[in-house]
Amino acid sequence: MNEAVAVATESRARFPRVQWIGLAWLAVYLPTYQTAYGARNFLFLCNIGVILTAAGLIARNRLLLSSQAVAAPVIALAWVLDVGWKLATGEFLYGATAYMWDPAFPLFARLLSLYHIAWPLLLWWMLRRVGYDPRGWPLQAGIAALAMIAGRWLAPATENINFAWTDPFWGRQLGPTPLHLLTCWGVLSGVAYGATHLLLRRVFSRPADPLRASAPASASVSKPADGSVP
């Protein structure tokens, strides 16, 4: 019992009290995006991810934050590459950020999309404090699978949410629907997410806990088995 209390106290001490960031973000982001882009826009993996990140901050849940730390660098890199390509050449790399140049959408809503840059940086900082939970990879793989299925069945082909209709490179469907979804999901979850998972395990194998440096070795305790922090 005493050990469980010690674990809870240690976890609470190293988890930053940043619930207000998640609450403030959702209060601004949700109504702005709903008005500008409509409800289907929340099916995109980037928007699912930033909502789950806010939820992880509010709930102080390490597993949820770890799952989005797996996805955020991949999504941010793809977003930055498309925007950068447009700025450098006048053409889109694959067109996912065309809305950023569309005056039909409010400027404030478009500027909010800069979260793609800040999002992985916030998660990187959080994981420095609380550590990375390796179960984040399979959790995010499951989230991606559901998001792709939803993008296929709940949105039209013209929106191509999560590339559920056509791939981002050749702009075509890769065989029958199940094969296309499985291929896109496998590349995303297995290759892209797998790479960030390995990086995160290497860099954040242990949380940066200032309490450990001053505490005697005999007082060390094991980390919680689940992803939540009391």
Given a cut of 70, is residue 212 above it in pLDDT?
A: no
Closest CA to 177 of 159, 158, 151: 151
Per-residue pLDDT, 211: 38
Tell me which of 171 and 44 has the higher pLDDT. Answer: 44
Question: pLDDT (tens digit, 9 = 90+) per residue, 163-191?
Answer: 999 988 888 888 999 999 999 999 999 99
Output the pTM of the full model.
0.82
Q: How confident is the model at residue 208 (pLDDT cuts 50, 70, 90)?
A: low
Mean pLDDT of all residues in the chain? 86
Alpha-carbon gap, residue 96 to 83, rounded angstroms: 9
Tokens of 142: 């499951």
In this prediction, residue 39 carries a pLDDT of 95
For the chain, the distance separating the N- and C-terminal CA atoms, rounded to the nearest angstrom, is: 15
Q: Which residues contact 161 (CB under 8 A, 6 or more apart)?
A: 40, 43, 44, 147, 150, 151, 155
Q: What is the distance between the alpha carbons of residues 214 and 197, in angstroms, rounded to a whole number?
A: 30
Pair 130, 62: CB distance under 8 Å: yes
Q: Strand, helix or coil at 85? A: helix
Predicted confidence (pLDDT) at residue 214 exceeds the cutoff of 70: no
Predicted confidence at residue 94, as pLDDT, reads 85
Mean local confidence (pLDDT), 63-87? 95
- Res 14: pLDDT: 67
The neighbour count for residue 26, using CB atoms within 10 Å, is 16
48, 148 Cβ separation under 8 angstroms: no
Q: Is pLDDT at 144 greater than 50 in this prediction? A: yes
Question: How far is it, in rounded angstroms, from Cα 154 to Cα 229?
Answer: 34
* pLDDT of 220 strictly over 50: no
Q: Is 7's pLDDT higher than 60?
A: no
Contacts of 217 (CB under 8 A, 6+ apart): none
Rounded CA-CA distance 196/202 in Å is 10
Least confident of 3-17, 59-73, 211-225: 211-225
- Number of helices (H) and strands (E) in the chain: give both, helices first: 10, 0
Q: How many CB atoms lie within 10 A of CB 198?
A: 12
Per-domain residue ranges of the chain: 2-219
Q: What pLDDT was estimated at residue 226? A: 47
| Cβ 70 vs Cβ 194: under 8 Å | no
